[in-house]
Amino acid sequence: MSGAGLLQPLRYTALERVRVPRPVDRLDALAAMVRGKGVFDLGALDETAIDAKRGDDNWLHARLCREAAWVVGIDNSKRLPAEGMETAANGRIIHADIFDLGPVVERHGRPDVIVAGELIEHLPDTEGFLRSLRANAALRGCTFVFSTPNACCWHNGLVGLAGCESMHEDHLQIYSYKTLRTLFARAGIELESLTPCHARFQEMIGGSRGLARLGVRGFQGLVNGLEYACPMLAGGWVGVARL
């Protein structure tokens, strides 16, 4: 992301101007940050769409495997076989606890990058999770990269006009630019950058046909244009932090 998301000091006033760069593609940005590196991919199975995504370009874990030196995915899903899952010549997903990565480091080695793609909005205690990463001496100095939906996004406002809300049933919270800044500060983790990312409606596109699919694609195009004009209302955030 070329350092474009470098953070400014905040006063937390209502009309404070926040400077953010133009939105990026979430998957492209995350994949670029792991090139040639050892990676832990937290919540890797992506069970909400695993069957649909394994054969295309929209499964983050597969994208990471193509770019990284090695990838160990970590998940506790009941859909994951007890012995884990080989996903690529350099990738696998194992059963483990994301709140206790020490045993994974002992078994597979210390990662250069820890990736949490669309994960923190699912956690009942995100600050506790971040503190667990910070407290793990084996991870000190690792790069932590994440993506998460934006609480203040164009598409939720637009569908809200029709009395709807676009939110997955497993989402427990949703973050804005400032709440992410606060969250990481309270967890004692240095947040280095926050960059907007475009909304993508791949599951809706994949699950629709004919005119409905054209309609979803058209809505995505409209939203992406609005995001470019006003990045603070983009679909999500890609963040980089140092543990």
For a pLDDT cut of 70, what percent of the chain falls above it?
Answer: 93
User: Which residues contact residue 117 at a Cβ distance below 8 angstroms, ignoring those fewer than 6 apart?
Assistant: 26, 30, 41, 43, 46, 60, 146, 147
Q: Which residues pair with 74 in a beta bridge?
A: 42, 94
Residues 123 and 125: their CA atoms lie apart, in Å, by 5
Q: Does 6 map to a domain?
A: no
| Residue 169, φ and ψ in degrees, nearest 5 | -65, -20
Mean pLDDT of the chain: 91
Q: Does 179 map to a domain?
A: yes
What is the reported pLDDT for 156? 85
Q: Does 202 map to a domain?
A: yes
Q: How many domains does the chain have?
A: 1
pLDDT digit string (tens) for 16-62?
999 999 999 999 999 999 999 999 999 998 754 455 445 567 899 99
**8 CB neighbour count, 10 Å cutoff:** 11
Which CATH number does the domain housing residue 37 bear? 3.40.50.150
For residue 53, the one-letter residue type is K
Q: Decide which of 236 and 157 is more confident.
A: 236
Q: Does 9 map to a domain?
A: no
Q: Does 11 map to a domain?
A: no
**Full-prediction pTM beyond 0.85?**
yes
What is the reported pLDDT for 141? 94
Q: Does 16 map to a domain?
A: no
Which domain range does residue 49 map to? 26-242
What is the reported pLDDT for 51? 53
Q: Are 117 and 173 in contact (CB under 8 A)?
A: no
Q: Does 228 map to a domain?
A: yes
